[in-house]
Amino acid sequence: NTVLAQTKVEASISGDIVSSYVWRGFKQAGASVQPALSFSLKNFSIGAWASTDFTSNESSKKEVDFYASYSTGNLSLTLTDYWWDGEGAYRYFSSPQDGNAGHLLEAGIAYTLPAAFPLSLSCNTFVLGEGNKKANGNNSFSTYIEFSYPFSVSSIDMGLSAGFIPWESAVYGSDMDSFKFTNLQLKGTKEIKITDSFSVPLFTSIIANPAAEDIHFVLGFTIK
């Protein structure tokens, strides 16, 4: 029985509803629904995450990502296939054209310090994809690095994070041509009790992007 328990595949489903979809400091879409599905076995996991806005037309923002990850201790390694050409592109299984980015493959590594000071550091680099190329056709290896630290105030779980791109990064736009901070974020999460056996995590995030001189205040909740 012990062996069976150790080799059991676990599954998880959840979904977020957000007032706007902001990724690494850049707004991607307005109010959106974001489902997630994952399977894990020991230290390995595979899963899918998606986002679709509520406009429900051919210009809707639609993203579907698949990932595989391995975790050991406080270290995790992840490969993610991003696809965000949007509703109406109809090119998921084809080569990109007409300005579409097609698929983008990103490799990521993250490490969290011991519980006494649980600072996390993550580094994510796009290694393949047409949307990752510079104007001259070379791979820009678009990279995003983030530090984050969790804490709590009263009954609210808080998180403070700071993220930046270290060099020219085509994925993040033509203006991102050097070292720039793109994501300064303060997030708070609180469990809202619906019934004695059911509660919903409600979260808010203040997200500033100094590089773009932009700011967002996002409200969302998670169902799982």
Go through 166-200 and write b for each residue having 16 or more CB atoms within 10 A of its CB, e for each that does not.
eebbbbbeeebeeebebbbbebebeeeeeeeeeee
Amino acid at 177: D
Specify the residue for token string 């967002």: 216
pLDDT in tens, 114-129: 999 999 999 999 999 9
The overall pTM is greater than 0.85: yes
* CA–CA gap between residue 130 and residue 138 (Å, rounded): 10
Q: Is-contact 105 129, C-beta < 8 A? A: yes
Structural contact between residues 76 and 68, judged by C-beta atoms closer than 8 angstroms: no
Task: Give the tens place of pLDDT for each residue, 167-206.
Answer: 999 999 888 889 999 999 999 999 988 887 788 999 999 9
* Average pLDDT, integer, range 141-169: 96
Q: With 60 as the cut, is the pLDDT of residue 5 above it?
A: no
Length of the chain: 224
pLDDT tens per residue, range 13-51: 999 999 999 999 999 999 999 999 999 999 999 999 999
